[in-house]
């Protein structure tokens, strides 16, 4: 009898469980999958400056070249979540980072100064206390400010903590099973999952106040990917793409958290990168060796507390030094003084209203001291100017004339063919601008450069652990 009863009861139980499961899934999908933001207009964009409830989330993904993202034209589907951010916000289509080495690039991004003016071009350079950084302006305006970073080049001893109430590496938790790290030079632990925990901890404490959170993602730099979900093969560049896909999953979880906890409708999200990555386009791999486009064309996406339908594209040239002038302008906060970058709010408003974008007046600049890590050697700048479809490259060679190159993206999208002899007048104009940039850039607004840091062996080892060659 009991057997019969059980057999009758069980299907009922299963049906009940199945119904409950479906309901749970439905609720889950509804809460997680739906974007809670209303659709906004150009007026809503202008009105951001008046809002006193707006938070700022700055997502900096280290080592993410624009050309490896779907929304920037990549044929592989590496980045659905990032593409969706762009698709309901603003995507800056031709966006240049100021260097291909994290410290120099991040110093330019935060100060809105080209490297020749920030003077952060060598391994021992640090931003002085007198530099005014965006986090200081936000803190002054009443934001709770926290920075969480996983790259030693933006550590507090280089001056990057200014304005942050809390500025630290995340607690390094066990790396989830299935994660593989393909960069053989990286030896420190943790993963970008640690940033999710740090975000939840920060918002549980300060989420009810006005906040600014900077998260510096690092998994792509380390070629960290998930074995389970990797789909792009096993080569060097394949694993880079697998790592982007894995970062995309972490970002999806981050956005879900914001959606579920009611932050999305009052948070401005900045998505950016410090540099890209080379895959032997010119015989070299990695980054921090030169500033050709594969290492300096990066994404810049803004996601507003409202959706833009459809997302807008800013097709004129922009740069990482424009990011903070744009954000401060959007927030109605005081602008930084004496800077090189400029607010791109006029471009955003024009694009939202379907009007022509303002013309750009001068070339954009990327710069790397090729000897940044060699203490005994004089600086040897590689400077690249992006001017419309033209890109001019000036490579300093010790005791020899510089190597000059000119690339024309309109005829050669990969920019590998030197067409300098075809356009001598263009090359001459851009060479003069480059010389003026190298030789006559004015001091930063805070005056002279800071005294170089004494970096001890422990810190150098930390940086070597990131894969950098420091003698
Ligand atoms: Zn970097």
DSSP 282-341: TS-EESSS--SHHHHB--EEEE-SSB-SSPEEEEEEEEGGGHHHHHHHHHTPPPPSS-S-
Examine residue 17 and state whether it is found in any structural domain, yes or no. Answer: no
Among 352, 381, 415, residue at a domain's last position: 352
Q: Which domain holds residue 282?
A: 42-352
The CA 29 to ligand 1 mean position distance, Å, reads 35
The CA 385 to ligand 1 mean position distance, Å, reads 21
**pLDDT at 393 > cutoff 60:** yes
Q: What is the mean pLDDT of residues 400-417?
A: 97
Residue 180: pLDDT band with limits 50, 70, 90: confident
Tokens at 64, concatenated: 């993410």
Residues surrounding ion ligand 1 at CB below 5 Å: 62, 102, 274
Among 352, 380, 405, residue at a domain's last position: 352
Q: DSSP code of 356?
A: P
**184-193 residue pLDDT tens:** 555 567 899 9
What was the pLDDT predicted at 203? Answer: 97
Pick the residue with more confidence: 167 or 451? 167
Number of domains observed in the structure of the chain: 2
Q: Are 172 and 125 in contact (CB under 8 A)?
A: no
Helices vs. strands in the chain: H and E counts, helices first? 13, 16
What was the pLDDT predicted at 450? Answer: 62
Q: DSSP code of 71?
A: G
Same domain, 186 and 278: yes
The CA 216 to ligand 1 mean position distance, Å, reads 9
The CA 223 to ligand 1 mean position distance, Å, reads 13
What was the pLDDT predicted at 24? Answer: 40
Q: Are 56 and 268 in contact (CB under 8 A)?
A: yes
Same domain, 325 and 379: no
End-to-end CA distance of the chain: 82
The CA 368 to ligand 1 mean position distance, Å, reads 13
**28-79 residue pLDDT tens:** 433 445 899 999 999 999 999 999 999 999 999 999 999 999 999 999 999 9
The CA 63 to ligand 1 mean position distance, Å, reads 5
The CA 373 to ligand 1 mean position distance, Å, reads 15
For residue 243, what is the domain's CATH number?
Answer: 3.40.720.10
The CA 62 to ligand 1 mean position distance, Å, reads 5
The CA 11 to ligand 1 mean position distance, Å, reads 56
Tokens at 186, concatenated: 């990286």
**pLDDT at 451 > cutoff 70:** no
Considering only 35-39, 150-154, 295-299, 453-457, which range has the smallest mean pLDDT? Answer: 453-457
Same domain, 410 and 283: no
Same domain, 266 and 369: no
**pLDDT at 389 > cutoff 70:** yes
Same domain, 248 and 374: no
**328-369 residue pLDDT tens:** 999 999 999 999 999 999 999 999 999 999 988 899 999 999
- Cis preceding-peptide flag for 322 (omega within 30 of 0): no
**pLDDT at 467 > cutoff 90:** no
Taking the C-alpha atoms of residue 248 and residue 244, their distance in angstroms, rounded to an integer, is: 6
**Percent of the residues in the chain that have a pLDDT greater than 90, as a whole number:** 79
The CA 233 to ligand 1 mean position distance, Å, reads 24
The CA 102 to ligand 1 mean position distance, Å, reads 4
What was the pLDDT predicted at 182? Answer: 72
Q: Are 322 and 343 in contact (CB under 8 A)?
A: yes
The CA 47 to ligand 1 mean position distance, Å, reads 34
**pLDDT at 468 > cutoff 80:** no
The pairing of beta strand 179-181 with beta strand 90-96: unpaired
Three-class secondary structure of residue 367 per DSSP: strand
Residue 177: pLDDT band with limits 50, 70, 90: confident
**Residue 137 parent element (H or E):** helix 134-140
Same domain, 371 and 414: yes
Whole-number average pLDDT of the chain: 90
The CA 394 to ligand 1 mean position distance, Å, reads 22
**112-145 residue pLDDT tens:** 999 999 999 999 999 999 999 999 999 999 999 9
Same domain, 337 and 377: no
Pick the residue with more confidence: 2 or 435? 435
């Amino acid at each position: 009898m009991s057997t019969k009863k059980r057999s009758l009861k069980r299907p009922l139980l299963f049906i009940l469980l199945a119904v409950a499961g479906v309901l749970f899934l439905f609720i889950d999908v509804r809460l997680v999958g739906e974007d809670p933001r209303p659709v906004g207009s150009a007026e809503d964009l202008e009105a951001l400056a008046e809002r006193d409830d707006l938070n700022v989330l700055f997502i900096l993904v280290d080592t993410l070249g624009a050309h490896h993202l779907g929304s920037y034209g990549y044929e592989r589907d590496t980045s659905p979540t990032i593409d969706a951010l762009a698709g309901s916000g603003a995507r800056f289509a031709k966006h240049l980072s100021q260097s291909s080495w994290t410290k120099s690039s991040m110093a330019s991004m935060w100060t809105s100064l080209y490297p020749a003016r920030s003077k952060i071009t060598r391994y021992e350079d640090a931003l002085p206390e007198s530099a005014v950084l965006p986090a200081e302006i936000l803190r002054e305006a009443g934001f709770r400010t926290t920075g969480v970073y996983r790259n030693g080049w933006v550590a507090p001893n280089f001056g990057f903590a200014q304005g942050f109430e809390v500025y630290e590496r995340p607690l390094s938790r066990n790396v989830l099973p299935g994660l593989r790290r393909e960069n053989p030079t990286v030896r420190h632990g943790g993963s970008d999952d640690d940033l999710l925990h740090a975000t939840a901890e920060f918002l549980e404490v300060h989420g009810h106040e006005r906040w600014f959170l900077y998260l510096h993602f690092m998994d792509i730099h380390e070629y960290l990917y998930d074995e389970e979900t990797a789909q792009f093969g096993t080569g060097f560049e394949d694993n880079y793409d697998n790592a982007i896909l894995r970062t995309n999953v972490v970002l999806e979880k981050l956005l879900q958290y914001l959606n579920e906890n009611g932050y999305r409708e009052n948070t401005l999200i900045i998505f950016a990168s410090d540099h890209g990555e080379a895959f032997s386009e010119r015989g070299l791999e990695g980054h921090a060796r030169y500033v050709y486009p594969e290492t300096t064309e990066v994404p810049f996406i803004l996601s507003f507390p409202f959706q833009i339908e459809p997302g807008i594209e800013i097709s004129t040239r922009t740069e990482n030094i424009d990011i903070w002038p744009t954000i401060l302008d959007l927030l109605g906060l005081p602008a930084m003084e004496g800077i090189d970058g400029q607010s791109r709010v006029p471009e955003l408003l024009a694009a939202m209203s379907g009007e022509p974008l303002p013309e750009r007046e001068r070339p954009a600049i990327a710069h790397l001291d090729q000897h940044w890590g060699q203490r005994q050697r004089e600086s040897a700048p590689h400077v690249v100017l992006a001017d419309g479809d033209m890109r001019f490259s000036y490579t300093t060679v010790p005791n020899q004339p510089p190597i000059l190159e000119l690339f024309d993206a309109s005829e050669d999208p990969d920019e590998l063919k030197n067409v300098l002899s075809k356009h001598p007048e263009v090359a001459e104009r851009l060479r003069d601008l480059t010389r003026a940039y190298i030789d006559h850039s004015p001091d930063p607004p805070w005056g002279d450069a800071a005294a170089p840091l004494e970096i001890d062996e422990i810190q150098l080892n930390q940086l070597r652990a990131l894969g950098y060659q420091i003698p």
